[in-house]
A and B are shown apart, each in its own frame.
Chain A
Amino acid sequence: MEVDKGKGEAEETRKVAEADRDTVTLKSSDGKLFEVSKEAAARLSTVLAGMIAGGSIDDNGTDLKQIGSEALENVVDYCNKHANSIPSAALISSSISFNTAPFKEPEEWERKFVDRLSHDALFDLVEAANFLGMERLLDVTCHKISEMMKGKSPDQIREVFNIKNDYTKEELEEIRQELAWAFYDD
């Protein structure tokens, strides 16, 4: 009898825990599941915060069909690392307003986090961060890409972004003349 009662209590506790879990499960476009702390998700992503508040989180895995598993893994990784790092005043203020708050330099761990990514993964992460409304992650990834673009020629940019040059030779010469000042070495 005593044992049964204990079991019942455990069951009860488990149910409560499930209803009030401190993680959310996210499902990538290719069906992989990732767990992330609810607190971090709500703090770092305006979209996830809205979903948590609106009760549209699925315990079996909230479908994020816009985000591939690799990008989602990076998102979750970022959230976990972020939760473990001491949030500085810089991060808190940068999440208030994207356009008016000055960008705070990436912290050391954030720099390392984006540095290890391939170009494709970095791009996908930008898109995922944009989709999920993760201002700080978007800041950090965009910063990294802009660093990569600095000092590059239009040719190099076309190559990097896989963009077709749709100028004629004459048009290109004309616009280059116009922008001659921007073509000094830098």
Chain B
Amino acid sequence: MANPVQSLNNPKAQHGPATPPEPYVCNTSNRAAEGRARGAIQPPRQAPPPSIPSVAGCRYVPSPPRRRASWAFRTAPWRAASPTSDDPLVEILSRLPAESICRFKCVSKPWRDLIADLIHRKKLPFDGDEKTSRIIRWIEKHGFLDFLGQSHGNLYCISGDIDDSYMITEMSIWVLEDYHTEEWVLRYSVSIFQLFGKMRSQFGSYEVVTIHPDCNLVFFVEYDDLKLISYNMDSKEVCDVCTLGRSYGRITPYDPYFSDLSVLGNKH
């Protein structure tokens, strides 16, 4: 330990307002009667002990008998009743998922204000919109989820119906127009026969590699001859785009890439 006195600076004591350290008598204390006796803490000279937030109405109150059924029966409100930003409650909240934290804004106004303040000061693990991640469920009866991507600013999902031999017989394209309703809307549905013709659908092996970010185009790779194939959802037109030099599992669309290929969009 290089300098233990320096390490006394409790990191937690420093978030809060610069209030002087206050003696805090928690309800476990049997009152401060004997607390003033000899041997009381003499804090080291340079660094004060970490400040402990006081609990309103909780100092120097003779403690009533304790009941220990649950927190609900705490004899004095925990500081959670009026939490401060350097409270252990902050540490507890920071371990909770964003949904829980936001829901707990409904607990009380002091909690709402604390949580809003913590979010604002980025003490909690999500941004000001309070949503950096959420779970969107895929409904299995919509089919086997094959591809997830973004187009027209919406989340798209391509699923397939599988027959007994695990061949995809029908391809469906779903869009999540409203993130709040979590409702997947069916945009297009096309049978594989229609898409590739009988011969190709039977013998070929295809995979959706990407969806055009701005146009209603889905791209496939045909693995046998490494052909990039596009499907126009509006005109139902299938088009061989080019032959790829090698196999691609997924192609990540990003705007510069596709703007370079504007020819491709015009072609349809």
> A interface vs B, CB < 8 Å?
27, 29-31, 42, 46-47, 49-54, 56, 58, 60-71, 97-99, 103, 118-120, 123-124, 126-127, 130-131, 133, 138-139, 142-143, 145-146, 149-154, 157-167, 172, 175-176, 179-184, 186
Contacts of A158 in B (CB 8 A): 107-108
Contacts of B25 in A (CB 8 A): 29, 65-66
CB distance from A132 to the nearest CB of B (A): 9
Q: Is the interface of B mostly helix, strand, loop or mixed?
A: loop
Among B10, B23, B99, point to the contact of A66 (Cβ < 8 A): B23
CB distance from B70 to the nearest CB of A (A): 5
Taking a contact as CB atoms under 8 Å apart, the answer to whether B8 and A163 are in contact is no
Given contacts A63-B37, A69-B28, 18 further A-B contacts (CB under 8 A): A29-B32, A29-B35, A51-B43, A63-B39, A66-B25, A66-B52, A103-B95, A120-B71, A130-B52, A149-B92, A150-B100, A153-B103, A161-B71, A163-B81, A167-B106, A179-B105, A183-B103, A184-B99
| Residue of B24, B110, B180 with most chain A CB atoms under a 10 A cut-off | B24
The answer to whether residues A130 and B41 also contact, given A99-B11, A167-B106 and a CB cut-off of 8 A, is no
Complex Cα distance A46/B14, Å? Answer: 14
Taking a contact as CB atoms under 8 Å apart, the answer to whether A150 and B71 are in contact is no
B134 interface contact, C-beta 8 A: yes
B47 interface contact, C-beta 8 A: yes
Q: Total contacts A to B, CB within 8 angstroms?
A: 220
Taking a contact as CB atoms under 8 Å apart, the answer to whether A63 and B40 are in contact is yes
Contacts of A162 in B (CB 8 A): 71-74, 77-78, 80-81
Number of B residues near A (Cβ < 8 Å) is 69
* B 97-134 contacts with A by CB, 8 A: 97-100, 102-112, 130-131, 134
The answer to whether residues A131 and B50 also contact, given A50-B44, A56-B44 and a CB cut-off of 8 A, is yes
Contacts of B70 in A (CB 8 A): 119, 159-160
